[in-house]
Structure 1
Amino acid sequence: MYNLSEIARIANKLATTGLTKSQAFKRAWELAKGKTLVVKGVTQGKRQTAIDHMKQYDPSEVTISLQRNTQNYFDTDTVEVIATIQGNSYCVGYLASSVSGWLSRSWTLEQP
């Protein structure tokens, strides 16, 4: 079951980032339903090797998290995709700028 009040809260925050209410609710529902997001930059460096290495683990052992990276010179809205296995973390890529822009702005709104 979906938490409708949480979806509405996220949509309202997204609407303050420049999206229309309709676009904001569509994005909030996509996030709630867990639709797949495209991760960029997975071929850079040894990321493909790390991703192949993760395949040997049970999915319950792998934690994927998102972390805002404001230190990026080109885009301060960068959101890293971090994979953690047995306490070891590794950046496997970045969210597309079209997604990271509104997502990082909504995180900024949550900070006091």
Structure 2
Amino acid sequence: GVHRPFWRDWRFAEPFEFLTPEILHHWLKMFYDHLCKWCIEAVGADEIDFRFSILRPHTGMRHFKEGISKGKQTTGREHRNILRYIVPVIAGAVSKEFLTTIAALSDFFYHGQ
């Protein structure tokens, strides 16, 4: 841990105001590390990979021809592309409540950018 923070002598220092996280990075990382993994678990790795592989390629968007479940190193751009695709990809394979939750959180992350 930090035993002597640099702001210790600043009279009105408020670390929660000047040490804020970079929202875009943290939200996309949270989406990929948690929501995306929940979707893979709910739908099944093979099924979600198949659903991503049959999407039509679009200019400016990554085509996940091998799926998303086996990705080891992914970039923020790939996280953002998965975020854009995830709701229609899992529709019909999960419960309405699960889909609504993922859609609401995806909208929150997307509009927060």
TM range (shorter): under 0.3
Higher relative contact order (CA 8 A, sep 6+): 2
How does the TM-score come out when normalised to structure 2?
0.28
How does the TM-score come out when normalised to structure 1?
0.28
Point out the structure with the larger strand share.
Answer: 1
